Amino acid sequence: MRLSESQGITLFFFLFAIILLCCVSSKAQALANSPAKISPAPDKKTPFPVFELPIPQNDTQKNYLGISGPGKFMITQIKSPLIIIEVFNTYCPHCQNEASLVNQLYQAIQARPDLKEKIKIIGIGLNNGTYEVDLFRARHKVPFPLFPDQDGTIGKKLGVTATPTFIGAKNYPDGTMEKFYFKSGEFHDSNSFLNEILKLSKLLP
């Protein structure tokens, strides 16, 4: 008995479906019988890129960072076990709005004897030159050191794509650093932000 063309096509797809089902079932059975693969636990430490910054000309800012002399310094040379970095842009309205709150954060840290030598704040002006950063500092009365990142090299190393971005990093005596906090956007309340930083960093016993 000869099959019509439509019947032949139907039979072909029926046989194809049976073969495919058998293959899938065999593979599923093989996977079920194979031992489970356990991925290694991820390293809890998140490496932090080390980079150079120009030494401030202002002696007060030098003393704050614990550095001296002219030229450049490595961020690991900052005399503090914990560093908070604000990556901002002088033309960013959110950064301008946030400036007073970041100043409050600085003042809150400086007012605590148990924190003032353990946490330092610096600002990185993403795609801003020295003139723009100095103008931002003067306009918003920023008390902590600000540094230019005119070509965006530092911002790229830090993985910053929006401003403001706040980064928390632990600074170890062996010259390495570990990132424990990274968040873009405004934090709205300086006390809540500081409490979050202390909780995540486990800085205090």
CB neighbours of 187 closer than 8 A, spacing ≥ 6? 98, 101, 166, 193
Measured CA to CA, the distance from residue 102 to residue 192 in angstroms comes to: 12
Helices (H), 34-159: 59-65, 93-110, 130-140, 153-158
State pTM to two decimals. Answer: 0.78
Element spanning 47, H or E:
strand 46-47
In a domain, 131, yes or no: yes
In a domain, 8, yes or no: no
Q: What local confidence, expressed as pLDDT, does residue 20 receive?
A: 42
Q: What local confidence, expressed as pLDDT, does residue 165 receive?
A: 98
pLDDT at residue 73 is higher than 70: yes
In a domain, 14, yes or no: no
Q: What local confidence, expressed as pLDDT, does residue 47 receive?
A: 83
CB neighbours of 162 closer than 8 A, spacing ≥ 6? 184, 185
Give how many domains the chain has, as a whole number: 1
pLDDT in tens, 82-109: 999 999 999 999 999 999 999 999 999 9
pLDDT in tens, 17-54: 444 444 434 433 433 333 333 323 334 578 899 999 99
Residue 91 is encoded by which pair of tokens? 């033309």
Query: What is the domain range of residue 69?
Result: 51-201
Give me the CATH number covering residue 103: 3.40.30.10
Q: Please tell me which residue, 15 or 54, carries the higher pLDDT value.
A: 54
DSSP state of 3: P
DSSP state of 43: P
